[in-house]
Amino acid sequence: MAGVLALVGGAEWQDGCSFDRTLLEASGGTDVLVLPTAAAYEHPERAVETARQWLGTFGGKAEGLMVLRRHDAEDEANADAIRRSRFIYLSGGSPMHLRSVLKDSPLWDAILAAWNEGAVLAGSSAGAMVLCDPMVDPRGGAFTLGLGLVEQLALIPHHNTWDEDQAARTIELAPRGLPVVGIDERTALIRGGDGTWRSDGAGRVVVFVDGKEAGLDRLP
Sketch out the chain's domains with CATH numbers.
Answer: 5-218 (3.40.50.880)
- Integer Cα distance of 27 and 14 in angstroms: 20
Contact 189/154 with Cβ under 8 angstroms?
no
Angle at 173 between CA 171 and CA 175, to 5 degrees: 95
Q: What is the pLDDT of residue 31?
A: 98
Provide CB contacts within 8 A for 104, sequence distance 6+.
none
Amino acid at 196: T
Which contiguous run of DSSP H or E holds residue 70? Answer: helix 70-73
8 Å CB contact between 129 and 95: yes
pTM as predicted? 0.97
Picking from 183, 188, 186, 184, the residue whose alpha carbon sits closest to that of residue 199 is 188
Number of H helices, E strands in the chain: 8, 15
Q: Mean pLDDT, 10 residues at a time, over the chain (220 residues)?
A: 95 98 98 98 97 98 98 98 98 98 98 98 98 94 96 97 91 96 98 96 98 96
Query: What DSSP state is assigned to residue 102?
Result: H
3-state DSSP call for residue 68?
A: coil
